[in-house]
Amino acid sequence: MDTSSDTPLDAPLDTAEFIRILDREGRLLADAAERAGTDAKVPTCPEWQVRDLVRHTGAVHRWATGYVAEGHPSRRPFDDPPVLDGAELVAWFREGHANLVRTLTSAAPDLECWHFLPAPSPLAFWARRQAHEASVHRFDAEAARGGTPSDLDPRFAADGVDELLRGFHARPKSRVRSEEPRVLRVRATDADDAVWTVRLTQEPPAAERGETGDAECEISGPAAQLYLSLWNRVPFPSVTGDRALAELWRSNSAV
């Protein structure tokens, strides 16, 4: 993936771009899982072996495909993955991933179905969400495989930070709370326009784009490292100010 574009990091990616990224990331995940072997431990998810990672992500792919293909209007539970392992499990994953990519590619722009974060449309939501789902878990699979992980496009990574801060953690499910009001700043150092201000209270975090007011703590670094660190996959690139606030995020932000 070309990461040298001059496009600003806050320029929105379109649905076709998210689908292309989903296609790439899912293929890389399967390749890494195949090389690591399904018995391998996943260091970024210590409770998992590669088989758990592949089963989980494959089940998510089929769950998402159902909404897009059939237009389900309400939430449905995940189906249990089949009892497969080794090469058969990876092949099952590849089949479901390819079907998700095909389904999103061929879906009507005015598709109506259930989705759980604000988005321009249900199709835009599912393409974006599944691209980020595959990307984070591709990193997990490559961590199990070892070696240098694949690059992340900075604009895509910045979008993932935005989805996490302004989407996932805006929901009542977020456990990042503070008895006293606190302000956290998140800044991508490879672009002036990728900065977020996160206000922590006893309610769900309230995040907004931009540098508004003073912050007690700032987490900063390249967009790709911020993305992975905020998903608790790697350490924070840089923390200034009250480190306890960064640790509050680290301890309570699991989604």
Give me the domains of the chain, ranges plus CATH numbers.
15-150 (1.20.120.450), 155-252 (3.30.1050.10)
What integer pLDDT is reported at residue 4 of this predicted model?
40
| Angle at the Cα of 174 from the Cα atoms of 173 and 178, rounded to 5 degrees | 130
- pLDDT-derived band at 12 (thresholds 50, 70, 90) equals confident
Neighbouring residues of 135: CB distance < 8 A, sequence distance ≥ 6: 21, 25, 152, 156, 160
Using alpha carbons only, give the angle 116, 231, 18 rounded to the nearest 5 degrees.
55
Amino acid letter, residue 73: P
pLDDT tens figures, 52-79: 999 999 999 999 999 999 999 999 998 8
**How sure is the predictor about 157, in pLDDT bands with cuts at 50, 70 and 90?**
very high
Distance, first Cα to last Cα, the chain: 27
User: What's this model's pTM, rounded to 2 decimal places?
Assistant: 0.93
